Each structure stands twice: as structure tokens, then as C-alpha cells.
Amino acid sequence: MLRAWILPLAVALSACRPGVALVREAAPAADPCLIEGARGATNDSVVIAVEGDIDRTNAPRPRNEAERFVFAQVYETLVRVRCDGLIIPGLAESWTADSGGRQWRLTLRDGARFSDGAIVTARDVAAAWRDREPDSGWTSVGGQILEGITVIGEREITVHFRHPQHDGPAALAHPSLAIHRPANGAWPSGSGAYLLPDSSAPSSPNAAAAAVTLRPRTPDRLPLLVVSALG
């Protein structure tokens, strides 16, 4: 079994030079932040150690570092911030800013789908941000950083920030802004590369676990066995 033991690391934000009308260019093909061996065509698994138990009833908004890692594989944010600070696509494949840096127009990835098969639309993004709880992190993150969102089309949205974001829309990578689709009696559907185990099963009072196996949605990835380092 292939093993890659990893502890959570703080993500550094990029220190890009301020500018106007920023346009995201294609990210380099090589990603130094990818887990070694995370892709393959064998029956091996990648084993990852994290701190804390994983309670799937908290999905998609994590309450500890273990859930932060697990949910990030299942539920995407509009953008991601690599370990080297580069802002790269998440659900959004491109983005531009107005001259003031407060309004960012983002285009969702063509063909993005939730795990239930539904196509991800701009209205799904707006709905996911409306579907929030007081303790989800929205008050400290979304409420203080964002003023709102405007749906432009099926794949086009404009995000309104309270303050200029000249270095890019890195704030949209916060876990509390993960995009999900509610499912009746089941875990919320995500558009990430992995699925929670028994993702179609309803929540149970014993959902917390010291180990979770994430199943890949495509055959080019290996399963991830996420275990609690403290469990």
C-alpha cells in the first residue's frame, strides 16, 4: 500500500503585486502541492494522517482540521490556494476584476457536475451561500468579506467584496464558502474529485469516525484513506 503521511499545514496567501482588471492566466501544468502518488491505475490507496475525528454530519463546513481536509476533497470552492500561494481554479475556471478590485466576475468550469449528476450552475453557487448556519464561519468570513453575489448567466457570476482584493479572490477559497447541493435525507452533493463513503445514505448519530475512505470519481485517482493521528 502506498503511504503518504501528511499533517495539516497553514496555507499561505499569495503576495502578488496590486493591479487592476486582473485576469487569471492558466496555472502551470506541474503542481508541487499534489500528494505524491495520488494518481494511478492500481488498487493501492494513499494513507493520510490528520488531526481530529471526521463527522460527516458537519459536511460541507468543517469544524476541525481533519474535516477541513476531507471535505475539501468532496466540496469545491470557487478558487483554491496552492501550498506555494498561487491562486488556481476550483469551480471557477477564470476570473477578472473591475478597476477597483471589489467586483470579481467568475466563470464556472464547463461541464462541472455534482456527485448526483446535476450540472453546477451559478444559481447553485448563490443557493449554497444562502444555505448557511450561524456557526458555519459565514459571519466571520462571508459576512465581513463579501457583500453579495450577482448571477449573470448559467456559468457567470459577479462576487462583490466589501474591500478591494487587488491580489486576487483568494478569500473565496475559505471552506465556509464551499459549494454543495442539498440532497433529501443524504449527505450534500459536491463537485470535488472524491466521494464520502455511503454518500447516498442519510446522516446517522454515529457519523463521527477516526478513519474515512474517500472514493475517487474518476479511475485515474487512487482512493484516499484518511485516518486520525489522534484516534
Give the three cell numbers for residue 196. Answer: 464520502
Distances (CA, A) of 125 to 13, 33, 180, 220: 23, 26, 8, 27
C-alpha cell recorded at residue 36: 505524491
Beta strand ranges found along 27-185 (DSSP E):
46-50, 54-55, 79-81, 87-89, 92-97, 103-108, 146-151, 156-161
**What pLDDT score was predicted for residue 74?**
94
Task: For 121, list phi and psi in degrees, rounded to 5.
Answer: -120, 170
State the pairing for strand pair 156-161/103-108: antiparallel
Q: What percent of the chain has pLDDT over 90?
A: 43
Q: Encode pLDDT of 142-163 as tens digits.
A: 567 888 899 999 999 999 999 9
48, three cell numbers: 493520510
pLDDT in tens, 35-81: 544 554 455 888 888 888 888 888 888 888 899 999 999 999 999 99
pLDDT over 70, % of the chain? 70
Q: Which of 45, 62, 3 is nearest to 208 (CA)?
A: 62
Q: Phi, psi at residue 218, to the nearest 5°?
A: -125, 150
Dist. CA 119–CA 153, nearest whole Å: 14
Residues 76-108: pLDDT tens digits? 999 999 988 999 999 999 999 999 999 999 999
Q: Tell me the three state secondary structure of residue 68.
A: helix
Rounded to whole angstroms, the Cα distance separating 108 from 35 reads 25
Answering whether pTM is above 0.85, one says no
Nearest Cα neighbor of 218 from 95, 9, 73, 88 is 73
